[in-house]
Chain A
C-alpha cells in the first residue's frame, strides 16, 4: 500500500467518524495499551471508550494487562514494542516504575501516551484532575450539608494512601467541603484498600471507635459503598447521613443512588471519555503534533438523579451518553497534582 493510498484510506475512515475527530490525519495502524488492572471496572470502561474510538478511526487496538504487577507492565510494553505497534498507551501501575520504559521507548522512537499519572520524561498524559474531582464533590457535599445536615460536616474518608491519585481526591474533597463549611472535620482517615470487603472492615472498626460521622467519602465506589455497608451493618439509620462516591464506573453507584437514601453525590470521572481522549491523543502524538503535557479529561459531581443525563441503563448494561459527556468542559489545568503532594 502506498503512502498516498494509506492516507486516503485513513481519511475515508475518518470521514465516517464523529465530528470533532482528528480528521484527515495519518492514522496509526495499531495502538498497544498496557493497562495496570484490566479486570477493574474503571479500566474496563476506559478500554471500552478506547475501543469505541479506535473503531471509529479504523485503528486496531490491542490491550495487555499488567494485573497490578509492575514487572509484568514493563514486560507488556516490551512485548508491544517487539510486536511493532505504532503508538503505546500506558496506565502505570506505579508512575515511578515506568521511567526507564519511557526512556527506552524514546530511544526507539516509539510514540507514547500516558493515562492517569504523570511520569518524568513523558510527552503527554491524558488524565482527569483527581484533586479537582474531589474538590468539586466536596463543594457539592458542603452545599448539601448546609441544606440537609444542619451545616455540620464530620467526614469519614475511606481512602487509599497507596496511590497519589486517590490521596489527591481525598485532599480535594476536604478542601472543597471547607469552602462551604469551614469547620468541617476529618474524623477518620482510613485505608480501605480500594476494595469493598477491606473498606467495610476498616469502616466498621472506625465507626465503632467514633460514630460521630455524618459524611462518608470514598475514593472509589467500592470504598464509599464499603463505608455505607459498614454504617448499615452497625444498625444505624441513614437519616442525616451523606455518602459521596467517586468514579461512577459501573452499575454499583447507580444501584446505590436509586436505593440508598443517603447516597446522594457521585463524582463522575467518565472512564469511557478518558479512553476516548487517550486514543485521540495517541493519533496526535503519532503525527508529531504538538500536544499539551496534560490533556485533561472532564469530571463532574452528579447529584441525585443527575446520572441519568450521562448514562442510560438497560438490564445489566450501561451505556454512555456521548453528547452529554462530550459537553462537560474539562479544566485547562488541574488545581493540584501529584507534584504538590511532595
Chain B
C-alpha cells in the first residue's frame, strides 16, 4: 500500500505574499479607478454625490453581469461577442410572455430558455464542433440581431401589463439608495468569484484556458468545460438583458447595439487575457467601473461624445500596453 500523504499537514505561509500582492494587476486597476474618481471629484461638483455614485453603479451593473460571463469564456480560452444581440433577443420572450400571462416569473423563464438555447448553440458549435469561437459568436451576433428585426418588424414591443415587480427590478433602489441592478451584480460577482476560486469546476475553467492539453491529461472534459462556459455567458447576458428590459420597460430591437464591444473592452482592460487562463472577476469589475466612471465623469464635465470616444480608445490602448510592458519587465 502506498503511504498516504494526507497524514502530514502543515500549511507553510507563502514567503512572498506582499510581493505577489504588489504584482497583482488588480492593485494597479484599483489605483487607476481611485485616480479616475479623484480626478472627476475635483473637476466636477456634481460628480461626488451619493446619488451620482450609486447611479453609476446601477449603470455599470449591466456590463458587470454580462462581463462575468464574457470573462469566464475568455478564461476558458474562447471568445463570446454574441451578447450584444442576445440582450435584445431575450427581451422578446420576456415581454411577450409577461404581456400574455401577466406573470413575471414565466417571462423570466422564457428569457432564460432562449438564453440557454443560444448558449447551447454557441457552445456546441465552438466547443464540440471546434469552429473558431470568434466566428461562431460573430455569426450568432448577426443572426440574433437579424432575427430580432425580423420577428419584431423593427418595432419595440411595449410592456403592456407593467408589473410593479418588473419595474422595480431595474429601476428600484434597495433602501432607497442602491439600485437593484447593482445589488444583483454584486451578488453575482461574489457568487462567481467564489465559484471560480473555490469550486473544482472553476479551476477547470482556468486549466482548460491555460493549457487545454494539460487539462485533458488531468482528466478534464475540455469540450464540456468550454461548452458550459458559453452557456454561463449566455445566461448571464440574459440576466443583463432582463435588467435592461426593465430599465427600458419594453423589448427594444436596437437594445445592446455595440454592447459586446463595450464589455470586451472592459474585460480586457480588467486584465482578463484573450488567450485564456488568466484574469479575475475583480479585475474585470474594476475594468468595467473605470470605463463607466470615465463615461459618467466626462458627461458631467459636458465633454462631447466624440471626445469621449477618443479618450476611451486612448485609455484602452494605454492600459493594455502598460500591462504588456509590465509583464515583459517582470
Contacts and interface: CB of A to CB of B under 8 A. Distances in A.
A and B, direct touch (CB closer than 8 Å): yes
Interface of A: 38-39, 62-65, 67-72, 74-76, 78-79, 81-84, 93-101, 103-104, 120, 161-164
5 contacts: A70-B252, A78-B55, A100-B248, A161-B153, A162-B254
Nearest to B46: A83
Contacts of B253: 94, 162
Interface in B134-170: 149, 153-159, 167, 170
A78 B257 contact: no
B250 to A, nearest CB: 4
Contact of A76 (B167, B244, B258, B299): B299
Main SS class of interface, A: helix
Contacts of A67: 305
Nearest to A191: B154
Interface residues of B, number: 42
B62 interface: yes
Contact of A164 (B155, B251, B252, B305): B155
Contacts of A96: 156-159, 248-252
A86 to B, nearest CB: 14
Contacts of B300: 79, 83
B154 A97 contact: no
A74 B247 contact: yes
B204 interface: no
Contact of B46 (A39, A72, A82): A82
Q: Chain A CB within 10 Å — which of B246, B250, B257 has the most?
A: B250
Interface string B45-79: 01001011001001100100000000000000000
B158 A94 contact: no
A195 to B, nearest CB: 14
B304 interface: yes
Given A94-B156, A95-B156, A70 B304 contact: no
A339 B151 CA distance: 19
Contact of A82 (B52, B244, B295): B52
A75 B296 contact: yes
Contact of A103 (B156, B157, B167, B258): B167
Given A93-B254, A100-B170, A71 B259 contact: yes
Contacts of A68: 254, 257
A66 to B, nearest CB: 9
A162 B249 contact: no
Nearest to A62: B302
Contacts of B246: 100
Contacts of B159: 96, 99
B248 A65 contact: no
B305 A65 contact: yes
B255 interface: yes
A84 B46 contact: yes
Contact of A97 (B58, B252, B299): B252
A280 B258 CA distance: 35
A97 B304 CA distance: 23
A79 B296 CA distance: 8
A84 B256 CA distance: 28
Given A70-B248, A71-B244, 5 more contacts: A65-B304, A69-B259, A75-B296, A82-B55, A94-B255
A130 to B, nearest CB: 15
A20 to B, nearest CB: 29
Contacts of B155: 164
A88 to B, nearest CB: 14
A100 B247 contact: yes
A101 B153 CA distance: 24
Given A83-B52, A83-B300, A78 B59 contact: yes
B296 A100 contact: no
Nearest to B248: A97
Contacts of B256: 71
Contacts of A163: 154
Nearest to B171: A100
Given A76-B299, A82-B55, A97-B255, A120 B154 contact: no
A97 B59 contact: no
Contacts of A164: 155
Contacts of B258: 69
Contact of B59 (A38, A75, A103, A161): A75
The 6 closest A-B pairs by CB, nearest first: A96-B156, A96-B250, A99-B249, A97-B248, A100-B249, A65-B305
Nearest to A68: B257
A104 B259 CA distance: 24
A62 B296 CA distance: 14
